[in-house]
Structure 1
Amino acid sequence: MTLYADLHVTRDAFRLDLDLTVEPGEVVALLGPNGAGKTTALRAIAGLLPITDGSIRLGDILWDEPPKTFRSADHRPIGVVFQDYLLFDHLSALENVAFGLRARGTDKRTARATAARWLETVGLAEYARTRPRSLSGGQAQRVALARALATSPDLLLLDEPLAALDASTTLHIRAELGQHLQRYDGRTLLVTHDPLDAMVLADRLVIVENGKVVQEGPPTEIARRPRTEYVAQLVGLNLYRGTATGTTVNLTDGGKLTIATPSEGKVFVAFPPSAVSLYPEPPTGTPRNTWPMQVAGIEQHAHTVRVRLTPGRSPGRSPAPATLLADITTAAVADLHLTPGQNLHATLKATEVQTYPA
């Protein structure tokens, strides 16, 4: 059975319009900036927030369709893992996992036996009697996941499940969570603002901005061909809209760019910041894209330094893009003596630029 969610929620000045499906065995990540509507969508699907219009159903079973039908959260076959896990401090790990089963009418012995199996599954059998305050963040996350899965839900909702973990723990727990999700044959909806969580865990990404879907598809497709500035920032690409004529693209926000493969009409152009080279003087040779630029900002970015550039004052061979990101090594920063306001020359090989229809 497929989860179908045609969500329309109006709250004050905000409106969510989202059409979403999740297939059995599929992990769908709902990704977007703060205030985009991700949590509103999850709460509506969970039965914690009635929709204003539309419908939510699992196969032929209707969960919400105003004004006549509304199933509350406890009458929907769902499991939820919240950002802060919401474990009961006064209960042991075993009793936390058994809680959902007991709430659904399972007898104490059966519930505890099932909870014990799930704690073993997530590698925490020896912590059965441990209270949440004595667990690490990663352990608490696994207890919360076991509690959500113990009831055999048709739908698993994950609300920023790794956000509360420190950086040293996240990598390990992300990998563990991915293994559990691969074994889960229900439907999973992951809400996150972290692109790495989404890229690693999800089969399909749904990007939401201002309450609407702006892009949807497999992670590899989203990473290769972003369609909004927000998505481009997520995947770390320079992205521009423009109009192509042959191998020249006139950029919508100003500037001109040469591409290797001829194209025509409205296009996106994208390239990684690592493809941009910086020079203190005009470079020799004949790079197709060369622009005088000025350093607008410098920040550490993973193992490189990201330089934000704006057009320089001296004229170039062609108008420069309004903004440009370049990733360089710390050694290059020292060689260039980079400082904000410094004038440089940026080059980009035409073969590094990807073009696709807008």
Structure 2
Amino acid sequence: MTVRARLRVTRDRFRLDLDLTVAPGEVVALLGPNGAGKTTALRALAGLLPLTAGHIDLDGVPWDEPPGAFVPPERRPIGVVFQDYLLFNHLTALENVAFGPRARGTRRAAARAIARDWLDRVGLAEHAHAKPRALSGGQAQRVALARALATGPRLLLLDEPLAALDASTRLAVRAELGRHLAGFAGHALVVTHDPLDAMVLADRLVIVEGGRAVQEGPPAEVARRPRTDYVAALVGLNLYRGEARGTTVTVAGGGVLTVAEPASGAVHLAFAPSAVSVHREPPGGSPRNAWRVTVAGVEQHGHTTRLRLDGAPPVLADITAATLADLRVRPGDVVWVALKATEIRTYPA
């Protein structure tokens, strides 16, 4: 019973044009920059924003198909976890979780029994009578998740579920959320701009830019073969498009690179910044790509230093603190970079 959607939504100057499927037991992450259309897609699936055109259905049963069919949010078998949780501040954790079953006609005692069970599952049984203001961010997130799951939804929608958490809480809550999603038999869609959340939680990524899907696939495949600059930046790779003839690739925008595997036609080239070595003088030694660049920026990047280098082509290079001390480079300095052909991944554009 797959969720199938052709989401066509026009709002002012923005247009969402996205085809989406979610299979039973699958967790799909919509990943993209702010303003890409991720939350618009989630709101359309939830019934909070009607489609302009297209359709949403579960196993052939339409939820939204203009101009006729439209199932309102309260009649859709969905659970939603919002970025700010949206717990009812005047209700206890138990009453918050019981609200969904009660709204769907379950008697008070039965709804509370369901709520107690879910609070126990998310490790908050002892906080059943606490109100939201007495809960930490991680605890509030777990109450919101329990509330969403308590109705037995067939589609679970999570909108930036970890964005409101501090870094120390996020790691533990991400792991716990992943455990609950792994055991969820329905369909799950996670909207996020955080690549780590998406990579850890999802079975499949759908990358959205400007209201359209630009790439999708398993996290490992997307990370290995980015197809846009945004995706390359997310996974920390240099990415170029070029025209290949054998092992020589002419890079769009300037420059020529030698690759290890022969190819023909339009290709993407990707390699890690750590694969790039930086030199004050033209490098010698084994055959490799080498070109002259100008230092555009120097910044701390984790445990390394990242150099932004302008040239043909421009490139990011990650070097150690010791290498930086030896090079003594500053913005505006001219240096050389080298890259082995075997470090470059080539795939059709």
Provide the rounded CA distance (Å) in 1 between the counterparts of 2:41 and 2:145.
Answer: 20
Provide the rounded CA distance (Å) in 2 between the counterparts of 1:302 and 1:357.
Answer: 31
Equivalent in the alignment of 1:357: 348
In structure 2, what residue type is equivalent to 1:325?
Answer: L
Equivalent in the alignment of 2:71: 71
Where in structure 2 are the equivalents of 1:54-69 lying within 5 Å? Answer: 54-69=54-69
Equivalent in the alignment of 1:89: 89
Match of 2:323 among 325, 332, 344: 332
RMSD: 0.9
Provide the rounded CA distance (Å) in 2 between the counterparts of 1:80 and 1:190.
Answer: 10
Where in structure 2 are the equivalents of 1:127-138 lying within 5 Å? Answer: 127-138=127-138
TM-score in terms of structure 2 length:
0.98
Equivalent in the alignment of 1:344: 335
Q: Is the 8 A contact 1:287 1:347 kept in 2?
A: no
Q: Secondary structure at the match of 1:48?
A: coil
Provide the rounded CA distance (Å) in 2 between the counterparts of 1:72 and 1:87.
Answer: 21
1:311-333 deviations in Å (ceiling 9; x for gaps): 2xxxxxxxx30x20011122222
Q: Report percent identity of matched pairs.
A: 70
Q: Secondary structure at the match of 1:338?
A: coil
1:185-221 deviations in Å (ceiling 9; x for gaps): 0000000001111111000011111111111111111
Q: Secondary structure at the match of 1:106?
A: coil
In structure 2, what residue type is equivalent to 1:324?
Answer: V
Q: Secondary structure at the match of 1:253?
A: coil
Equivalent in the alignment of 1:219: 219
Where in structure 2 are the equivalents of 1:196-345 lying within 5 Å? Answer: 196-311=196-311, 320-321=312-313, 323-345=314-336
Equivalent in the alignment of 1:316: none
Provide the rounded CA distance (Å) in 2 between the counterparts of 1:309 and 1:106.
Answer: 63
Provide the rounded CA distance (Å) in 1 between the counterparts of 2:336 and 2:41.
Answer: 46
Q: Is 1:184 the counterpart of 2:163 in the alignment?
A: no
Q: Is the 8 A contact 1:287 1:348 kept in 2?
A: no
Q: Secondary structure at the match of 1:96?
A: helix
Provide the rounded CA distance (Å) in 2 between the counterparts of 1:294 and 1:202.
Answer: 39
Ranges in structure 2 where 5+ consecutive residues have no aligned partner: none
Q: Is the 8 A contact 1:93 1:143 kept in 2?
A: yes
Q: Secondary structure at the match of 1:34?
A: coil
Q: Secondary structure at the match of 2:41?
A: helix
Provide the rounded CA distance (Å) in 2 between the counterparts of 1:277 and 1:102.
Answer: 63
1:116-143 deviations in Å (ceiling 9; x for gaps): 0101000111111111111111111111
Q: Give 1:286 shift.
A: 3.6
Q: Give 1:303 shift.
A: 2.0
Provide the rounded CA distance (Å) in 1 between the counterparts of 2:141 and 2:17.
Answer: 31
TM-score in terms of structure 1 length:
0.96
Provide the rounded CA distance (Å) in 2 between the counterparts of 1:271 and 1:31.
Answer: 22
Q: Give 1:297 shift.
A: 1.1
Q: Give 1:280 shift.
A: 1.8
Q: Secondary structure at the match of 1:172?
A: helix
Q: Secondary structure at the match of 2:188?
A: strand
In structure 2, what residue type is equivalent to 1:339?
Answer: R
Provide the rounded CA distance (Å) in 2 between the counterparts of 1:122 and 1:249.
Answer: 53
Q: Give 1:92 shift.
A: 0.9
In structure 2, what residue type is equivalent to 1:249?
Answer: V
Q: Secondary structure at the match of 1:254?
A: coil
1:321-354 deviations in Å (ceiling 9; x for gaps): 0x20011122222222231112111110110000
In structure 2, what residue type is equivalent to 1:345?
Answer: W
1:65-98 deviations in Å (ceiling 9; x for gaps): 1111111110100000000111111111111111
